[in-house]
Structure 1
Amino acid sequence: MPLTPAVFHILLALTDKERHGYGIMQEVTRRTNNQMHMGPGTLYGSIKRMMADGLLEESGNRPDPDLDDERRRYYRLTDFGQRVVRAEARRLEQLVSIAQMKHLLQGEA
C-alpha cells in the first residue's frame, strides 16, 4: 500500500462478482464515467502481479458455455485481496477527510 490506481480499480471491479478481463475493463470505464480506460497491457500485467501477490485467483466457475467464450478466464478476489481493497478504501477515506477539513473540496465549480 498504497495501491496503484489500476490495481485499486481492478480490485473494486471484482468486489461484487467474478469477471473476465474485458468485463473488468468495462466495469472500470463504467464506474469512472469514462474517466479511466484500462488497456489490455495494463490490465493483464496487473492481474499477473496481483495473482502472484495473492490478491486474485482464477475462478473455476464458468457461465453457461452457450453464453460465454470458453477462452475467457474469470478472476475473483482472494480473502487477502478483499482485506487489501478494504484497507486501501479506508486509507483513501482518511485522505479525503483531511482534504475536507482543509476546505479543499468546498466551493469548486
Structure 2
Amino acid sequence: MINAELKKIYCPMTETAFYILLSLQVERHGYSIMQHVEDITDGRISLGPGTLYGTLSKMKNDELIEIVKQQGKRKIYRTTDIGMQLLHIEKERIAELYKNSERTE
C-alpha cells in the first residue's frame, strides 16, 4: 500500500523517475537503464550517471525499487510492488491528460 507521503513525493512523477520505474519492470543494471531510456525515447532523454544513480538511491531508500543481485560491481535492480503501484497511478494520470487534450468544446 502506498502511503500519502510517497504519493505526494512521486505524483506527478518526473520523467527521470517515470522512465526508471518503467525500465525496471525487468531486472536491469544502471548502464542498461540508461541505454533502455535512451532507446525508448529515441534519444530525447539521455540520463547521466549522477542523475541516474542519485535517483536510484532515493528510490531504493523509498522502497520503490530493490537490488535483486550483484554481478561484480554491478547492482541489478527491479521495481517493487510499491513502485509498480506508483507507476500505474502515473500512467493513469498521463492517460487522463491525453484524453482531456483530445476533447473539444
TM-score where L is the length of structure 2: 0.85
> What RMSD in Å do the two structures reach over aligned CA positions?
1.4
- Structure 2: runs of 5 or more not aligned: 1-10
Does 1:87 pair with 2:96? no
Tell me the equivalent position of 1:72: 74
- Give 1:20 shift: 0.1
1:34 to 39, 43, 49: 43
User: Which of the two has greater helix per residue?
Assistant: 2
Match of 2:17 in 1: 7
Runs of 4+ in 1 over 4 A off after TM superposition: none
What is the deviation of 1:57? 0.5
Structure 2 counterpart of 1:34, one-letter code: G
1:85-105 deviation line (CA, Å, top 9, x unaligned):
0110011110011111149xx
Deviations 1:48-79 (A, max 9, x none): 1101111001112x6xxxxxx52110001111
Q: 1:59 to 1:92 in 2, by over 3 A?
A: same
Q: 1:53 to 1:35 in 2, by over 3 A?
A: same
Offset of residue 38 of structure 1: 0.4
Per the alignment, residue 46 of structure 1 pairs with 55
- Aligned identity (percent) is 39
Look up the SS of the partner of 1:57 in the other structure: strand
Aligned length: 95
Name the larger-Rg structure: 1
Is 2:21 aligned against 1:19?
Answer: no
